[in-house]
Structure 1
Amino acid sequence: MPVPPLRRKRVVTRRFHVRPWVLPALAALAGGCAAPEPDEADAAGAEVDSPVAGDVVDGTGQATPVADGVFEDSIVFGQAAAFSGDPAGLGINMRMGIRAAFEEANREDGIHGRELKLVSEDDRYESEMAVEKTEALIAHGVFGLIGAVGTPTSRVAEPIASRERVPYIGAFTGAGLLRGENQRYVVNLRASYDQETEEMVERLTTDLGISRIAILYQNDSYGQAGLSGVRKALEKRNMSLVGEDTYVRNTLAVKRAALNLRETNPQAVIIIGAYRPAAEFIRWARKLGMQAVYVNLSFVGSNDLLNELGWSGEGVVVTQVVPFPRDTGIPVVAEYRNALAMHDPAAQPGFISLEGYLVGRLVVEVLRKASDAATLPTRESFLQTLVESGPIDLGGFVVEYGATDNQGSDAVFLTVIRQGRYVAVNRLTR
């Protein structure tokens, strides 16, 4: 029996010239340098795919693009994301999923004979580095930016991309700042943080009858985006937070927050943070006797959170924006698992790399529609094709874009840690 596609669309109420020099990673792509091993790449802060053969070469021995990001035998994308520090797992897994999708396409003639390539740069989840890496990638003529990680970094990187008319595709954030009606150059795959937090509050109040909800959030634009979503969801129900506290990004300083929130006697605590401080908070809260349901946004990094918590994670809830990565009844999930195994047989399937894979698959689908053997893809034709395509079925996961709707999916899923692993659920139970 065919699997119905996952689709939940809402009613929406809401020239750059290539520089003559080449980013070292792009030069490696065109000049025949072998790609570094993953651990070497992470240490260096950049990773490139295998070399490109047959590109046009200028007098310096470097490949010359025939259009922005398009070479004779390849199309090159750039990624500025976190590959070091606490959020490194997010960037690494997004990159892994994107590369799995690109390599899968390349085994099937790529984009009408052109291979897809990815250049990844480490922005360390810091805004200043995000600006530097984004400007460098754009200056050297990548086709688009893909798989950025985080709200603070996207907050500064996206305006640069939009100003230079470079597609900013599949950022790993649900912040509203990327979801304006006039943000033509932004392509979001995932549901928004407002939609995730609405689902959290709906399930806590309807399924569990909870009325006392507190929040811990990262003290930056990511945390503020999550806080805003929770407040909106509560206000719809004539409710308010019983307590709120913060922690500083890239730290584990959450004990004070646990002590403070314990005094508010919450029945549930929503956590808007990264996996290590989230896990540290949950451990402290339980040690201090706080009997509450702990709910995390998808950005937390599900696999890393599970590994960090171990058996102390029992009952912790995480909202997701992609299907369950073990649900091979959905065709695209089965295809993802096969592509991931081809990319790295040792890789463990997970929500983040699945999201990266879906972003990569979306790019492949649209590029193939936007060009043919005789017609070069361009940034503008990519974006126009995306809008004009209507529903795009990636294999049981459907996305759709419009002239004023730059978010493809509205789907939110629930998972709970039970007996050391994630379980997909439709509703919460005691």
Structure 2
Amino acid sequence: MKKLGRVLTLFILLFKLPVICDAEEGIQGNTIYFGSVLALKGNARDLGLGMKAGLNAALKGKTVGGLKIEILYKNDNYEPDLAVKATQELINKPVFLMIGNVGTPTAKVTLPLLAAHNIPAVGFFTGAGLLRPGVAPTVNFRASYVQETGAVINAAIQNGIKPNEICAYVQNDAYGMAGLTGVKNVLANQSNTESIIKLLDQIIRTKGSEPKRNNIGPVGTYTRNTKEVVSGYASLKKWEKNSATKCKLVVTVGAYENIAKFIWHANYKQREHWIISAVSFTGADNLKRFLSHYKSSKNVLMTQVVPLTDSNLPIVEEAKNEIGRRFGYVSLEGFIVGKMLLKIMEDIAPPITRGKFLKQARRSKFNMGGVAIDFTKNGYQGSDKVEISVLGNDGFETLSSDFWKKAIN
């Protein structure tokens, strides 16, 4: 009888435990730990701070399967060596998954570490191909850089700009090359571009930590985390001279401060009349702020992978209310990523494991307040949304039907 009583007591105690502890999978007690490595300091800090604000608004104080969510943030200054160190610290914690990491060059060196421990990489703030699908188990929200650059180049060509009038100004690293690959892929589908594709291939394939990629083709490059724009601009002018053509559209793939200075240097100091586009990673709100400082805002395009911030979609209205003063394009993406993760995890039957999470993510298809998420097409990317916006007086807005006609003429 006493033995039966002890068994019943043990059973009751076990029943009262909120979860089964699994420290190896980032679950300890009644808490599930997520990690995030991003720029919280340095030249790209507003990207990291925006992502953090969005993630916190979506996930802070929430629970899944009886587990309280806690996000552990680490700064990497948008530098690969610091990202490796921070990632290893979170792996040692350990964390259940990584979410919202910012940047391609940092993802390039940390994904192999995550792969070695089968830690999912969720909603990273990069459209690089190395996460599609990636060496680690990846669950992306956003469209790729190939899709972003493709959208603006196809629109330009459809409106009269010739393939040899399309140039690029990019960060001299994995991020810039990911964007340039998108440029190359689109131009490869056009007639009489073989010589340009050959040059772009040469630039993309050049190896090294800071290789010489200027003065080769219709491309200018700059060094990550710097404001130096002159050499990249000079490279584009050399291309114009050698090819006897003019850059009419310059596709940029960089971070907000350098891209803003490049636009000012080219179109205002040097009086070019280039249409200049930027990919979403650039940071719309910060680019607008810096361009306002430089008094440079004419013919500036940006591809967005989230709804425009003046949209009346329920997800946008919810994000505005929850994020507060830090609401913007980057924080909106962080919010959507957080809500996406929450929905996937809520659909998992307890106990939650990484294997169950990945299985559920791969088959997920749902709508979040006007944003469609569908992983059933390829398993690793939830959204293909790309929208071309133009910088106006109040920020980036919908592109007008006559934009190209006015900008080219």
Task: Tell me the distance in 2 between the aligned counterparts of 1:70 and 1:121.
Answer: 19
Q: Deviations over 1:261-299 (max 9, x none)?
A: 235131111111111111111111021121110011111
SS of residue in 2 equivalent to 1:318: strand
Q: Which runs of 5+ in 2 are unaligned?
A: 1-15, 198-216, 241-245
Task: Tell me the distance in 1 between the aligned counterparts of 2:97 and 2:127.
Answer: 19
Pick one of 19, 36, 39 that aligns with 1:79. Answer: 36
Say whether the 8 Å CA contact 2:65–2:351 is kept in structure 1: no
Say whether the 8 Å CA contact 1:171–1:188 is kept in structure 2: yes
SS of residue in 2 equivalent to 1:370: coil
1:363 corresponds to which residue?
341
2:280 corresponds to which residue?
298
Say whether the 8 Å CA contact 1:162–1:186 is kept in structure 2: no
Task: Tell me the distance in 2 between the aligned counterparts of 1:178 and 1:401.
Answer: 14
Structure 1 residue runs of 4 or more that deviate by more than 4 Å after TM superposition: 64-67
1:221 corresponds to which residue?
174
Pick one of 83, 87, 108 that aligns with 1:130. Answer: 83
2:320 corresponds to which residue?
337
C-alpha displacement of 1:67? 6.2
C-alpha displacement of 1:66? 5.8
1:30 corresponds to which residue?
none
Q: TM-score, normalised by structure 1?
A: 0.78
C-alpha displacement of 1:402? 4.0
Task: Tell me, yes or no, if structure 1 residue 160 matches structure 2 residue 152.
Answer: no
Pick one of 385, 405, 408 that aligns with 1:411. Answer: 385
Task: Tell me the distance in 2 between the aligned counterparts of 1:376 and 1:405.
Answer: 22
Structure number with the higher helix fraction is 2
RMSD of aligned C-alpha atoms?
2.2
1:271 corresponds to which residue?
252
Task: Tell me the distance in 2 between the aligned counterparts of 1:153 and 1:268.
Answer: 29
Task: Tell me the distance in 2 between the aligned counterparts of 1:385 and 1:422.
Answer: 35
Pick one of 183, 191, 195 that aligns with 1:230. Answer: 183
Say whether the 8 Å CA contact 2:142–2:384 is kept in structure 1: yes
Say whether the 8 Å CA contact 1:215–1:271 is kept in structure 2: yes
The worse-fitting range, judged by mean Cα deviation, of 239-248 and 272-281 is 239-248
Task: Tell me the distance in 2 between the aligned counterparts of 1:299 and 1:352.
Answer: 8
Pick one of 386, 396, 402 that aligns with 1:422. Answer: 396
1:300-339, aligned counterparts within 5 Å?
A: 300-310=282-292, 311-328=295-312, 330-339=313-322
1:204 corresponds to which residue?
156
Say whether the 8 Å CA contact 2:363–2:379 is kept in structure 1: no
1:380 corresponds to which residue?
355
* Aligned-residue identity in percent: 32
Aligned pair count reads 355
C-alpha displacement of 1:420? 4.6
Q: Deviations over 1:234-260 (max 9, x none)?
A: 111124487211111111111122233
- For the pair shown, the structure with the greater C-alpha radius of gyration is 2
Say whether the 8 Å CA contact 2:44–2:78 is kept in structure 1: yes
C-alpha displacement of 1:115? 2.4
Task: Tell me, yes or no, if structure 1 residue 96 matches structure 2 residue 53.
Answer: yes
- 1:425 aligned partner, one-letter code: L
Q: TM-score, normalised by structure 2?
A: 0.82
Task: Tell me, yes or no, if structure 1 residue 116 matches structure 2 residue 107.
Answer: no
C-alpha displacement of 1:223? 0.7
1:145 corresponds to which residue?
98
Task: Tell me the distance in 2 between the aligned counterparts of 1:381 and 1:420.
Answer: 44
Change (3 A) 1:408 1:295: same
